[in-house]
Homo-oligomer: A and B are copies of this chain.
């Protein structure tokens, strides 16, 4: 259904004379030229259910998702965020206030704020809870796309994968863990800025591995960049908690959504300094080199499990609806 809707909408709009990166690129956002500036713009509707989950809520998710989409395109200091809220008549005021407080705090962490907004109310039975659509606007000194990988580039992930998706899944399946699984939902714009500070010209591509997880991000990056990607599965960082849920539900963590991570393609000479920089931060302490780009099997991702090599299948449909 989502693929269908995407197909219906992306191919028919006229190209923009202002866009350096437009709708057809299907990147994390668009890049508009304004004089000498590169304005990055990104939008997402957030429908996560339940709206409150371990480690965050829909408000924190909306701000972080938007901040992170800007960041992975090179706009690490958002100019501002817009917030359009659709809510069910009679939604609990206390919940609304919690959500708003989360948004305020996430904005502060990211050093940005909401600059304009809208509110609509729908009847009971017309909407389940709350939907928050955020749009972010930022300037990029260097625009980073998801299609710039070259053979030889090293693939880095900035931390443990799958925590967001598994935290929401565990909650929906009423699985209790001790300590509880926590979503990783956080703004990573400062982390991305730290990487740009040490390796701006060596970043080939970057992507926010949300829906469809790291697997989906890698597939898109490989296909758009016309390279193959080889992944070394044992190198992929996964927390013990996520590993446990993964085994219980039989779901590969590479397919599960993240909300505070980036997948980065870096030229081989800069990989060490990027990893060192990341590991020196709290958010990037588990960063790891997980693979490499090759000039074969273009558009495909091959994974070495330690027991053998196989194609990492492209995610088909969503493992879990309303994950973000």
Q: Mark A126-163, 1 if CB is under 8 A from B, else 0.
A: 11100101010101000000000000000000000000
The interface centre, meaning the residue of A6, A15, A113, A322 with most chain B CB atoms within 10 A of its CB, is: A113
The distance from the CB of A2 to the nearest CB of chain B, in whole angstroms, is: 5
A34 vs B43: C-alpha distance when bound (angstroms): 20
Interface size on A, residues (CB 8 A): 76
Q: Are A6 and B119 in contact (CB-based, < 8 A)?
A: yes
- Among candidates B19, B47, B115, B121, residue contacting A120 with C-beta atoms closer than 8 Å: B47
Contact A118 to B44, CB < 8 A, known contacts A8-B93, A18-B80, A125-B128: yes
Q: Are A90 and B18 in contact (CB-based, < 8 A)?
A: no
Copies in the complex: 2
Q: List 10 A-B contacts (CB under 8 A).
A: A2-B119, A5-B85, A12-B101, A12-B104, A27-B116, A30-B82, A34-B34, A35-B37, A43-B84, A86-B131
Binding site for B on A (CB under 8 A): 1-2, 4-6, 8-10, 12-16, 18-19, 22-23, 27, 29-30, 32, 34-35, 37, 39, 41-47, 49, 79-80, 82-87, 89-90, 93, 96-97, 100-101, 103-104, 107-108, 112-123, 125-128, 131, 133, 135, 137, 139, 318, 321-322
